[in-house]
């Protein structure tokens, strides 16, 4: 699951750079939503990993 979160986070960052740079103005809101969802999933995944006793797995 952590691999998916990192993948979506990278995609959101790339979309954000393109959107905030003015290349694709319509993608700004989508990039923000994807970024925050990926960030929440990353935190949840890290907490679950720590609770299971397998940090970084």
Q: What is the pLDDT of residues 12-48, one digit of tens each?
A: 777 767 666 565 556 677 777 888 888 888 888 888 8
Residue 22: predicted pLDDT: 60
Q: Please list the alpha-helical segments (H only) found in the chain.
A: 2-20, 27-52
Residue extents of the structural domains in the chain: 2-49
The answer on pLDDT for 49 being more than 80 is: yes
Angle (CA) 15 4 27, round 5°: 15
Token digits of residue 49: 């990993």
What lies within 8 Å, CB to CB, of 11 at 6+ separation is: 34, 38
């Amino acid at each position: 699951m952590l691999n998916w979160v990192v993948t979506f986070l990278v995609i959101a960052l790339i979309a954000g750079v393109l959107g905030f740079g003015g290349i694709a103005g319509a993608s700004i809101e989508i990039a923000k939503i994807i970024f925050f969802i990926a960030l929440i999933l990353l935190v949840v995944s890290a907490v679950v990993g720590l609770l299971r006793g397998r940090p970084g797995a």
